[in-house]
Each structure stands twice: as structure tokens, then as C-alpha cells.
């Protein structure tokens, strides 16, 4: 669950979903930094869900039984580092929790995430589910299926459309995944040394320029324009993601 709403709306949403989501489900509630609040953390824990709240690097923490307060900015101070530990976070309104930290190379800031899960039960990479949810949200609306134009108010009608949209989205991602896998590897050896391709640090595995969803959409349109038949692909075409470990984790 990706939570980015105000105080009153968050409380109302959590109370509503509490009675809908099956109790046997393990629910991870992710929030972007700047939205952390102790009442929100406690409310999520209170309904037996697991907070996964990103925080800013201002403030301090301590690792029991040591009582020394340390700056959060020093949990990971160099790209390439990661760390997890049970801590007491913040001098004001202290919180006993697990602190997950990771700073990947190429990123401006690290991830600092607070959760009630034990360090060996959680992976900070799960936080990557939050921005991926935003991408899916765009795919459903203005970047893709134009859901906002339906203006539906009936949940019963909406749930049928959502089922169709979910299957269509999966289809587009599978098409895009296969198209990406079939793309030729760039050949830099034939380029002159001063080519613009070398103006940035060389990456043997180029970063994805467009999403698998959009690539699948383009592939489908191109196939139709070329008179090719519509077809489904094997599940092996589904592209891997950095958060696959979340779905296969047996620790929860």
C-alpha cells in the first residue's frame, strides 16, 4: 500500500481498508519521506500491518543498549553502503523500531526506512514498490488506459473494469519485456572516440529509456499497423525487477 494522504484522510482510509483486507495478508504500508508521523506509525501497527516509512536524514538514533545518540545522516555516509538494526529513533517522541538504510551508487540520497519488522525479516529494497506503484498509477490514467475519463462512481462497475485493466496491463508489460529482451545490444566499437555516447560514464547495460508498459503498447500498435496477429507471450517474458525478493520472501 502506497500512502500519500493527509492526517484525516489517512486515518479514514486505514480504518476502511482494515475491514476489507483479509487478516491473513501481510500488508506493507509505504510512505515517502516528509510524511512520517508517530501517530501514523502506531496506527499502522495497531491494525496488524507493517509500516515502511521513509524518513529524512535529519535527527538522531541510538542502538540499544548503547545510549549514545548518533546522527541519522551517518547511518550510511557513502554510496554502496547498506545497514539494518533495531534502534530507538528520534530524541523527541522516541520510537523503538527497525532502521533499514541503503545508498545506491548514482543516487543523491540514501533510503532510511522505519518498520516494525525485525532486521532479518525485511529488505529495504521493498521500498522500491512505492515508486513503482506511482508508475502503475500513471499507466492506468493519462499515460495509458485513461481511467480518469470513466468517471465511474459504482464500485461494482469499477471492479469489473479494474479486472480488465489489470489483465491488459500485465499483457502490455509482457509484450514490452519480450521486445526489450529482443533489442540488439548497442555496438560502441564502431563509434568515434568523441561521439556523444561517450560524454557520460560508460554503462555496458544501458538504463531503460521507456517503461515496459509503454514499450508493450508501442509494440502492439506496431504489430496491428503491420497486419500481424495479436498474441500472448510466455510468462518468461515478464521482466525482472529489483523488488522481486519481496514477492518470494518467506520471512514474513
Q: Is residue 156 one of the residues assigned to a domain?
A: no
Q: Is residue 143 one of the residues assigned to a domain?
A: no
Q: What is the mean pLDDT of residues 55-67?
A: 93
Helix axes 129-140, 212-225, angle to 10 degrees: 30
For residues 196 and 40, the model is more confident at 40
- The answer to pTM > 0.75 is no
Residue 127 Cα distances to 23, 91, 173, angstroms: 22, 25, 21
Q: What is the mean pLDDT of residues 151-156?
A: 86
pLDDT given for residue 141 in this prediction? 86
Range of the domain at 67: 2-131
For residues 179 and 67, the model is more confident at 67
Q: Is residue 44 one of the residues assigned to a domain?
A: yes
Q: Is residue 45 one of the residues assigned to a domain?
A: yes
Please count the structural domains in the chain. Answer: 1
For residues 32 and 234, the model is more confident at 32
Q: Is residue 170 one of the residues assigned to a domain?
A: no
Q: Is residue 237 one of the residues assigned to a domain?
A: no
Tell me: the pLDDT tens digits for 90-121? 999 999 999 999 999 888 899 999 999 999 99
Q: Is residue 192 one of the residues assigned to a domain?
A: no
Q: Determine whether 79 is exposed, middle or buried from the number of CB atoms within 10 Å of its CB (0-12, 13-18, 19+).
A: middle
pLDDT given for residue 236 in this prediction? 56
Amino acid at each position: 500500500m502506497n500512502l500519500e494522504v493527509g492526517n484525516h484522510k489517512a486515518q479514514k482510509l486505514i480504518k476502511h481498508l482494515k475491514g476489507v483486507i483479509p487478516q491473513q495478508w501481510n500488508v506493507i504500508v509505504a510512505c515517502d519521506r516528509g510524511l512520517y508521523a508517530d501517530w501514523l506509525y502506531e496506527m499502522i501497527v495497531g491494525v496488524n500491518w507493517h509500516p515502511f516509512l521513509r524518513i529524512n536524514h535529519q535527527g538522531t538514533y541510538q542502538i540499544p543498549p548503547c545510549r549514545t545518540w548518533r546522527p541519522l545522516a551517518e547511518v550510511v555516509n557513502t554510496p554502496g553502503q547498506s545497514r539494518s538494526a533495531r534502534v530507538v529513533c528520534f530524541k523527541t517522541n522516541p520510537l523503538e523500531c527497525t532502521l533499514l538504510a541503503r545508498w545506491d551508487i548514482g543516487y543523491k540520497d540514501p533510503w532510511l526506512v522505519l518498520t516494525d519488522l525485525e532486521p532479518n525479516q525485511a529488505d529495504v529494497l521493498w521500498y522500491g514498490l512505492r515508486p513503482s506503484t506511482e508508475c502503475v498509477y500513471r499507466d492506468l490514467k493519462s499515460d495509458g488506459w485513461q481511467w480518469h475519463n470513466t468517471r465511474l462512481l459504482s464500485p461494482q462497475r469499477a471492479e469489473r473494469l479494474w479486472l480488465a485493466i489489470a489483465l491488459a496491463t500485465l499483457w502490455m508489460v509482457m509484450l514490452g519485456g519480450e521486445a526489450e529482451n529482443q533489442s540488439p545490444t548497442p555496438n560502441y566499437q564502431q563509434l568515434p572516440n568523441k561521439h556523444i555516447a561517450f560524454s557520460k560514464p560508460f554503462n555496458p547495460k544501458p538504463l531503460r529509456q521507456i517503461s515496459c508498459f509503454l514499450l508493450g503498447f508501442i509494440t502492439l500498435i506496431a504489430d496491428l499497423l503491420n497486419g500481424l496477429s495479436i498474441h500472448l507471450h510466455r510468462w518468461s517474458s515478464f521482466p525482472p525487477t529489483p523488488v522481486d525478493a519481496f514477492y518470494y520472501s518467506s520471512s514474513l
